[in-house]
Amino acid sequence: MQIKGKAWKFGDDIDTDAIIPARYLNTSDPYELAKHCMEDADKTFASKVKKGDIIVAGKNFGCGSSREHAPVAIKYAGVSCVIAKDFARIFFRNAFNIGLPIFESEEASKKIDEGDEIEILADKGIIKNLTKSQEYIVKPIPPFMQELVAAGGLINYAKQKFKIK
């Protein structure tokens, strides 16, 4: 998995209403949702984010509702991954379930500034800050979650492990 892009910085406790406000949840079309990605945290985010860019946030990213539309909006806006100090638990499982890469690193969350060029070596568990020539360690992903990623998300995992009727 090759991830490289420019960082967009957000603060602590970015909630799912900020990531995708409920006023847009009358559809589950991923491209419609992507148009409003992060709108209530940064009104112009969806128009300026480029394919491959990375969201870097503080603690408890994705708190609030269970809406899977939140990681879906981020993924389809072209964002390649989210780095945060930590994630709210439903967002955490949703991201893995739908195949949006997320990484926990307190150091990266603190030291990366907006606009920094970031590269992630997922299999080595390292985040490289190309602008600042720094490296940060990623909190290891539990083995089951790695299995989910390798399978290509939860539904593919179900296809492999269960007899589907």
Partner 1 sequence: MGMTIGEKILAAKCGKKFVEPGELIIADVDIVLANDITAPLAIKEFKNSGATRVFDRKKIVLVPDHFTPNKDIKSAEQAKILRDFANEQKLTHYYEQGQAGIEHVLLPEKGIVVSGDLVIGADSHTCTYGALGAFATGVGSTDVAFAMITGKAWFKVPTTIKFIYKGKLKKWVYSKDLILYTIGKIGVDGALYKIMEFAGPVISDLSVDARMTMSNMAIEAGGKAGIIEPDDITIEYMKKRAERKWKIFKSDKDAKYEKVIEFDCEKIEPQVACPHLPENTKSVSEVGKVLIDQAVIGSCTNGRIEDLKIAAKILKGKKVNSRVRCIIFPGTQNVYLQALKEGLVEIFIKAGCVVSPPTCGPCLGGHMGILAKGEVAISTTNRNFVGRMGHPESFVYLSSPAVAAASAIAGKIASPEDIL
**Counting contacts by CB under 8 A, is residue 27 touching partner 1?**
yes
For partner 1, the binding residue among 23, 50, 110, 124 (CB under 8 A) is: 23
Buried b (16+ CB within 10 A) or exposed e, 40-63: ebbeebbeebeeebbbbbbbbbbb
Contact positions with partner 1 (CB under 8 A) in 123-142 = 142
Closest to partner 1 by CB, 18 or 118: 18
State the amino acid at position 12 in one-letter form.
Answer: D
Question: To 10 degrees, the CA torsion angle through 39, 46, 106, 143?
Answer: 110
Closest to partner 1 by CB, 86 or 135: 86
Closest to partner 1 by CB, 74 or 90: 90
Question: To 10 degrees, the CA torsion angle through 36, 40, 46, 49?
Answer: -150
For partner 1, the binding residue among 31, 124, 144, 150 (CB under 8 A) is: 144
Contact positions with partner 1 (CB under 8 A) in 32-61 = 39-41, 43, 59-60
Closest to partner 1 by CB, 17 or 116: 17
CB of 4 to partner 1, least distance (A): 27
Closest to partner 1 by CB, 94 or 129: 94
**Counting contacts by CB under 8 A, is residue 149 touching partner 1?**
no
Residue ranges in 11-113 assigned as alpha helix (H): 16-19, 30-34, 45-48, 69-76, 89-98, 106-111
Contact indicator for 37, 20 with CB cutoff of 8 Å:
yes
Longest Cα separation, the chain: 52
Q: Which tokens hold the place of 14?
A: 């970015």
**Counting contacts by CB under 8 A, is residue 160 touching partner 1?**
no
d(CA 64, CA 92): 12
The site for partner 1 (CB under 8 A) is made up of 13, 15, 17-18, 21-23, 25-28, 39-41, 43, 59-60, 63-69, 72, 86, 88-90, 93-94, 97-98, 142-144, 153-155, 157-159, 162, 164-165
